[in-house]
Amino acid sequence: MEIGTIGVIGAGQMGNGIAHVMALAGYDVVLNDINQEVLDAAMARIEKNMGRQAGRGAISEEDMVAALGRIRLTLDQAEVGPSDLIIEAATEREDIKNKIFEGLAPHLAEHTILTSNTSSISITRLASRTDRPERFMGFHFMNPVPVMKLVELIRGIATDEATYNACLGIVESLGKTASSSEDYPAFIVNRILIPMINEAAYALYEGVGNVASIDNAMKLGANHPMGPLELGDFIGLDTCLAIMHVLHDGLADTKYRPCPLLTKYVEAGWLGRKAGRGFYDYRGEVPVPTR
């Protein structure tokens, strides 16, 4: 099917990035959130990020103006319903995602494809709560969306081939690469990445090394662009912990047990960059390790 209009639910870090790339690729975007301040901040961030792209010649000023004109903001979820494809990009909590899809149900067009940007939750289970499990799949972008080239496509047990092909076509139109994953806990990227961050937290917890030595070891010894603890702060330690719980609960393997220190940081509200503190303290001019 031909996709022209894309609804994005959730205007946070992931949602505004998704709206950004979709609008630049020529799609009309309806960006929804429950908070007008979040919507306004998202639009300001999109404009700022597109401005950076224009400043370095990655896009033209004309492309930027046209893309910004394709984005419409709304507080009313009903206005998202008639979109050809909807991408849910809300908080990584299954109850919230189910509530969103239930709220959308009366407003959907017959042909609308539903997708979730979830990084770990079962697509089959989310799809089963809707009226169209065959037109439902996982559409997992990497952060930051305008920069990262990969999109994970996750088929639920009922997802049909037409839905998969439509989503694959969108990924290709964005100039990104699709990686197809089966519907198992945390899919591919986070199945490998988040346990590495959890293991780094265990190394810190057990005194194998401090924050700086662990991150430097992986940056200089394994050529990683960011150390695992720094990366955890960037992702959000609450998100990392939530994914570890999904892995531990879904696979019942003790190797996925969340590190107690990671849990403690989340309990303290030290969630990483977005909270000003995590494995590093970001409140000064330069991030300082907290251990």
Active site residues: 119, 140, 152, 190
User: Binding site annotation covers 120?
Assistant: no
User: Binding site annotation covers 35?
Assistant: no
User: Binding site annotation covers 134?
Assistant: no
For 4, 145, 242, the CA distances from 59, given in Å and listed in that order, are: 21, 16, 36
User: Binding site annotation covers 50?
Assistant: no
Query: 3-state class of 3 per DSSP?
Result: coil
User: Binding site annotation covers 12?
Assistant: yes
User: Binding site annotation covers 119?
Assistant: yes
Are 186 and 247 spatial neighbours (Cβ–Cβ below 8 Å)? yes
User: Binding site annotation covers 207?
Assistant: no
Strands (E) in 166-228, as ranges, are 177-181
> Half-sphere exposure (CA, 13 Å, Cβ side) for 260?
2
User: Binding site annotation covers 13?
Assistant: yes
Burial class (CB in 10 A: 0-12, 13-18, 19+), 90: buried
User: Binding site annotation covers 222?
Assistant: no
User: Binding site annotation covers 213?
Assistant: no
Residue matched to tokens 């994970």: 152
Strand pairing of 113-116 and 85-88? parallel
Residue matched to tokens 């986070």: 190
Residues of the binding site for NAD(+): 10-15, 33, 92, 97, 119, 143, 274
Summarize the annotated binding site as residue ranges. 10-15, 33, 92, 97, 119, 143, 274
